[in-house]
């Protein structure tokens, strides 16, 4: 693997020179802020980005070809739909007639810039995972002679869907591959479970949900926008969790929690939480994206799991996909399986083929990066430049993490660090990839709060909300790759850390 431990120019795709890359380089804090403020000079330099927030260049090319062929004005936003079933999701949430056209075997949704619901529609499409795969766009362009070649990459062609299911079955120790459902991204997996629970809970008269601790931005937004939500900011005080559930159990349909959570790496006492949820007939959903099923035994202690396979399972940073893992022993398993297909956007076949290839060394990658993570955490905890390291080894999380740990040596390869100086003082000098996402084979640093909650940083009220969430704007999340740990540490030393 070519070393990425260097300063990478603004806008460079991560991985480099890959048209299907799902991350992008933001080498300075000015670049991060320029992106968040939608500075034209910054945006024009981006070769890639996280696909739910940034339109892949191949998808953009296809959309612009359609714009030209149908003479559509620039005031119309064009959304190529991954499948026609998406229209039923839109009709479920929006009472309106959508304008659409068909071309190249694809339905294109047309949204006018003057539509009063445009903001809500954009948010819904992003959160639910309504986007066309870059490989799908590439195949359409190539088969119609609009591009000359497709990107050369390794993939597994024979039974790729089953191969991915089988790999996850071993990791999660499920009874059957049928307990695992693949979706086009992790957020669609989360939304599908959420909507399925909403359907069943409305029938039983339960109309509230509980969010425990921090959730990823769009998970947080789905619950905030489409559910009657109660929130507990932290997950380590189980007495407080018990009081909250006992107080609201008659109206609570579900509890949502990440194990560990993002970006504080806090762990809830999951076995006790599940027992409490079972006592009061409440569905417990766990998002395992930061942990990987190879580090933690989670499925016996929840009803259903969602995971972003784009992260550790793929590892290459070039596939967006998600998984839903149903606990067959759960009271709700049959109902979830029977209803959830209506909300799942299936992954594109070439994405599944790519993941089937890259997932083959999933466990080995977890072992290698885990060992490096321990050494890097130890180094940073002893650095005079570091104020705090947030990891599963932190005293507040270690006990609850160890209860679930499959192997004493394996830990998630993600942690966050807060320095004694403002983040920009170190960030700009740190010679390694800096951008969104995690779980890649190359080490990747992300100014999490700036990219996930930039709006909250801008106001006093927002900063107070961040404080209540335990999030400091200057936190830097680190995803540890497969480079020699001595080289990773050397990068921090070069930045004065």
Is residue 37 in some structural domain? no
Q: Are residues 319 and 205 in the same domain?
A: yes
Q: Are residues 321 and 369 in the same domain?
A: no
Is residue 123 in some structural domain? yes
Is residue 440 in some structural domain? yes
Alpha carbon dihedral 313, 318, 320, 326, in 10-degree steps, equals: -10
Is residue 426 in some structural domain? yes
Which structural domain, as residue segments, surrounds residue 179? 160-355
pLDDT band at residue 91 under the 50/70/90 scheme = confident
Q: Are residues 327 and 248 in the same domain?
A: yes
Q: Are residues 111 and 181 in the same domain?
A: no
Total tally of structural domains belonging to the chain: 3
Is residue 44 in some structural domain? no
Q: Are residues 100 and 198 in the same domain?
A: no
pLDDT at 261: 95
Q: Token pair for residue 247?
A: 């107080």
Question: Which among 143, 156, 63, 142 is positioned nearest to 108, based on CA atoms?
Answer: 63
pLDDT at 1: 53
Q: Are residues 287 and 305 in the same domain?
A: yes
Distance CA 475, CA 467 (A): 12
pLDDT band at residue 157 under the 50/70/90 scheme = very high
Is residue 291 in some structural domain? yes
Distance CA 366, CA 470 (A): 28
Q: Which of 108, 130, 152 is the last residue of a domain?
A: 130
Q: Are residues 245 and 379 in the same domain?
A: no
Question: Which among 250, 254, 231 is positioned nearest to 332, based on CA atoms?
Answer: 254
* CATH number for 255: 3.40.640.10
Residue 415 has pLDDT above 80, yes or no: yes
pLDDT band at residue 88 under the 50/70/90 scheme = confident
pLDDT at 92: 84
Q: Are residues 104 and 165 in the same domain?
A: no
Is residue 87 in some structural domain? yes
Q: Which of 355, 379, 397 is the last residue of a domain?
A: 355
- Backbone phi, psi, residue 73, to 5°: -70, 160
Is residue 70 in some structural domain? yes
pLDDT at 62: 98
pLDDT tens column, 249-273:
999 999 999 999 999 999 999 999 9
* CATH number for 416: 3.90.1150.10
Residue 75, classified by CB atoms within 10 Å of its CB into exposed (0-12), middle (13-18) or buried (19+), is exposed
Q: Which of 355, 387, 414 is the last residue of a domain?
A: 355
Q: Are residues 481 and 400 in the same domain?
A: yes
Q: Are residues 193 and 223 in the same domain?
A: yes
Q: What does the pLDDT average to over 442-449?
A: 97
pLDDT tens column, 325-362:
999 999 999 999 999 999 999 999 999 999 999 999 99
Residue 204 has pLDDT above 80, yes or no: no
Q: What does the pLDDT average to over 428-437?
A: 96
Q: Are residues 317 and 192 in the same domain?
A: yes
Q: What does the pLDDT average to over 300-306?
A: 98
Q: Are residues 348 and 384 in the same domain?
A: no
Residue 113 has pLDDT above 60, yes or no: yes
């Amino acid at each position: 693997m070519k070393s990425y431990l260097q300063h990478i120019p603004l806008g460079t795709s991560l991985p480099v020179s890959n048209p299907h890359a799902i991350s992008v380089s933001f080498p300075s804090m000015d670049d991060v802020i320029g992106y968040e403020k939608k500075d034209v000079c910054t945006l024009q330099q981006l070769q890639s980005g996280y696909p739910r927030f940034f339109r892949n260049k191949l998808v953009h090319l296809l959309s612009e070809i359609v714009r030209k062929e149908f003479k559509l004005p620039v005031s119309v936003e064009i959304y190529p739909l991954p499948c026609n079933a998406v229209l039923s999701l839109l009709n479920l949430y929006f009472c309106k007639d959508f304008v659409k056209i068909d071309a190249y075997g694809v339905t294109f949704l047309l949204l006018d810039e003057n539509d009063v619901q445009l903001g809500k529609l954009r948010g819904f499409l992003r959160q639910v995972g309504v986007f066309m795969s870059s490989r799908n766009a590439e195949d359409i362009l190539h088969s119609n002679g609009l591009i000359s070649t497709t990107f050369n990459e390794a993939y597994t062609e024979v039974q790729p869907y089953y191969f991915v299911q089988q790999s996850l079955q071993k990791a999660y120790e499920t009874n059957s591959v049928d307990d695992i459902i693949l979706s086009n991204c992790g957020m669609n997996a989360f939304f599908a479970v959420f909507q399925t629970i909403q359907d069943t809970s409305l029938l039983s008269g339960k109309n509230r949900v509980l969010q425990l601790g921090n959730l990823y931005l769009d998970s947080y937004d789905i619950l905030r926008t489409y559910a009657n939500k109660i929130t507990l900011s932290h997950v380590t005080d189980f007495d407080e969790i018990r009081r909250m559930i006992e107080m609201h159990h008659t109206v609570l349909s579900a509890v949502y929690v990440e194990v560990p959570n993002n970006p504080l790496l806090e762990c809830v006492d999951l076995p006790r939480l599940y027992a409490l949820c079972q006592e009061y007939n409440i569905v417990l959903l766990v998002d395992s994206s930061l942990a990987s099923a190879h580090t933690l035994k989670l499925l016996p202690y929840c009803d259903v799991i969602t995971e972003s396979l784009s992260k550790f399972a793929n590892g290459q940073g070039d596939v967006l996909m998600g998984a839903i893992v149903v606990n067959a022993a759960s009271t709700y398993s049959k109902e979830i399986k029977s209803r959830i297909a209506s909300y799942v956007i299936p992954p594109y076949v070439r994405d599944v083929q790519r993941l089937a290839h890259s997932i083959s060394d999933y466990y080995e990658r977890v072992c290698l990066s885990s060992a490096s993570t321990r050494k890097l955490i130890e180094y940073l905890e002893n650095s005079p430049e570091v104020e705090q390291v947030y990891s599963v080894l932190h005293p507040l999380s270690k006990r609850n993490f160890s209860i679930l740990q499959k192997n004493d040596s394996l830990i998630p390869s993600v942690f966050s660090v807060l320095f004694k100086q403002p983040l920009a003082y170190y960030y700009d000098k740190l010679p390694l990839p800096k951008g969104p996402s995690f779980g890649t084979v190359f080490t990747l640093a992300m100014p999490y709060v700036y990219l996930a909650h930039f709006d909250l940083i801008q106001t006093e009220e927002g900063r107070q909300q961040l404080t209540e969430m335990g999030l400091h704007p200057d936190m830097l999340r680190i995803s540890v790759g497969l480079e020699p740990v001595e080289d990773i540490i050397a990068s921090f030393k070069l930045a004065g850390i």
